[in-house]
Structure 1
Amino acid sequence: DRDRFLFPQVRYRGEVKPENLVFNANLQEFSQRVSFISGLESNGKLSPSEAYEQIESLWGQLKRSKKQLKIR
């Protein structure tokens, strides 16, 4: 489907623990969304400040995820 095309996921190769798998999925989603936002900004579809705000929000979500999962 469209989301799988736009946001592909790579197989996890680290220590297999539920919290690591969840964080890895969150990290991959963050990476894909930042790439997508960067493309939109580069093509003039988002202003630099809009892109920054969206990426900053995504970063906050990723940090909260790491804290909630107790990842070191």
Structure 2
Amino acid sequence: MNSYKGKFTLENLLFNANLQEFTHQISDIYGLSNQGTISHKEAYTQIQVLFEALKRSKQELRIGENP
């Protein structure tokens, strides 16, 4: 995990962890797709699901909203 460099709040730290997990999972999906283990369509579907979860996380943590 990379060190956190943004303004420290618990919400920002949690979102940073979620973002890093998202990028790790995307990397895994990309690798599986390139190896032919999963289809490109399945990879795209999985990435869409992960992106929606990340978006939900951002909304729930209220990232980017003015305090």
Normalised by the shorter chain, which TM-score bucket? Answer: over 0.9
Match of 2:39 in 1: 47
| Higher relative contact order, chain-length normalized (CA < 8 Å, sep 6+) | 2
Could you state the TM-score of these two structures normalised by the residue count of structure 2?
A: 0.93
Aligned to 2:51: 59
Q: CA deviation at 1:28?
A: 0.3
Residues matched between the structures, number: 64
**Structure 2: gaps of 5 or more residues:** none
Structure 1: gaps (5+ residues):
1-8
Cα RMSD for the two superposed structures: 0.5
Write the distance in 1 (CA, Å) between the matches of 2:30 and 2:22.
Answer: 12
